[in-house]
Every structure is written in C-alpha cells, then in structure tokens.
Amino acid sequence: MPLTIFNIAITVEAEAETTANPAVSKYFYVVPAPVTVTNAAPLALAATSFFTDAGVAATAFEAVAADNGYRTVYINGVPQMDGLITLSTSTLTLTPEDGESIDLDENTPIVLEIVNLDPETTVTITT
C-alpha cells in the first residue's frame, strides 16, 4: 500500500456571543460668565468644577481606556472636534487652532462624556 495521509473527519459548530459592557460617566459644567477661548488663552477646566450625573461635585474625571474607550465634549449640546480637546483625569482643556476663537456665553453648558468598554466574549463549541 502506498503512503497515505489520513485526515480526521469531524464536524465542529461554534457560537460566539460578545457583550460590550459599557461604563458611561458624564460630567456637567455651566460657564459662569462670558469668555472668549483662543489658542493663546485656552480654557482649562478643573474636574472639581464639574458635577456628576448624581449632581455631586466631581473629584476627578474617569480615565479613558486606551484601547476600549472614548470621550466626547458637548458645548451647548453640540459635539466638539477631537483636536480641540485635551483631557487628563484632573483637567479638561479647550484649545482652538491658531487664529480661531470660541465665544462662550454665560450659562453655556459643557458636558464631558466618557465611555469605557469592557467587552466579554463567550464561545461555545460543539462537536
């Protein structure tokens, strides 16, 4: 008999289910007086000047997960471009491009939303 490669004959079915498990943190700030924000005069807002969803003063911003998180800043309900924003756990800074400016009126709301995902995948294999 010549040499033969024998293969295993098997049928496998797999089912995967992924859950995103989002953790959403929102922080709210109201501009106390009119201000013009420029590249030379950026607006740096301390986390402690914001309120949380629970209506209590924030102590720090949630860190944004490097691979599974994002943040969005809304000014007067409008999402802002990413390049305008610098965020640390202690400060949100708005810096327009050189030559640009942002005029914020008194009582303008600024909302920071941080979403971190903690995905889990369950795989079931049947043979």
Query: 99 pLDDT exceeds 80?
Result: yes
**Alpha carbon distance 98, 69 (integer Å):** 28
The pTM score is: 0.82
Query: 92 pLDDT exceeds 90?
Result: yes
- Amino acid at residue number 63: A
Query: 97 pLDDT exceeds 70?
Result: yes
Cβ contacts of 118 within 8 Å, gap of 6 or more: 20, 21, 22, 23, 68
Share of the chain above pLDDT 90, in %: 87
Mean pLDDT of the chain: 94
- Confidence class for position 1, pLDDT limits 50, 70, 90: low
**Alpha carbon distance 120, 23 (integer Å):** 13
Position of tokens 């950026």?
42
**Four-point Cα dihedral 89, 92, 97, 100, nearest 10:** 180
**Alpha carbon distance 36, 27 (integer Å):** 22
Residues 64-84, mean pLDDT to the nearest whole number = 95
